[in-house]
Amino acid sequence: MRFLFAGLVILMLATPVVGHELSVYTVIVNSEGAYPADVPNGSLKEGDAAWFWMKDSSENATMVVELEKDGATLRSPTLQFECELDENGTVIDESCKNRFDYTFNQYNSAGLWNITFLKYVNETLVETINGSVNIEADIHNNETIVEEKSSTKKDYLSREYIAGGVAAISLVAMVVIASNPKGNSTFSEEE
């Protein structure tokens, strides 16, 4: 059992991992505007998410968030400041939302996205705030590495070959250890 655990640890350490930890960026819209309307460069990569919170407590105010990239547009549901809750704290109307979550596709969402915040009062559009976010590519597989400089590709591939070699040697060592009967030594001591 110990050799299996040791082998798994060695294989896990030898496996190359490239990528980033997914993150969430929050944008808050209140009576004074969207903060930030323009998400700072470098804040989001492919696979990350943005949460758009409706925090405008103006009477009868609602909001719609519109995301646009390359002519394709996505609209949020109508967001409200508060949703009515029952005595257990559960939202009574399932369609009532005060936050719109959007996760940028992990493989093809890199580039400039336009964000439009549409504020309505009594269902009449009263304010439009424009913003943007630049989603960076997440270099995490061999297909996207090809687009990088050849020296970076060579460095990555050499690390990949080294990791593969360590994994192969570890596998051979595990087979040798597993095939050795318990307590017997393959080497004899000279007297």
The model's pLDDT over 54-81, given as tens digits with 9 standing for 90+, comes to 999 999 999 999 999 998 899 999 999 9
- For residues 105 and 130, membership in a common domain is answered with yes
- Based on the structure, what is the number of domains in the chain? 2
Residue 37 sits in a domain whose CATH number is 2.60.40
pTM of the model: 0.61
Q: Is 93 helix (H, G, I), strand (E, B) or coil?
A: coil
Where do the H-state alpha helices sit in 71-149? 142-145
Stretches in the chain below the pLDDT threshold 50: 18, 141-153, 191
- For residues 39 and 110, membership in a common domain is answered with yes
124-136 per-position pLDDT tens digit: 999 999 999 999 9
Domain coverage including residue 171: 2-16+142-179
- For residues 29 and 117, membership in a common domain is answered with yes
**What is the sign, positive or negative, of the torsion defined by CA atoms of 47, 41, 130, 53?**
positive
Show Cβ contacts of residue 121 under 8 Å, excluding neighbours closer than 6 positions.
Answer: 58, 59, 60, 61, 62
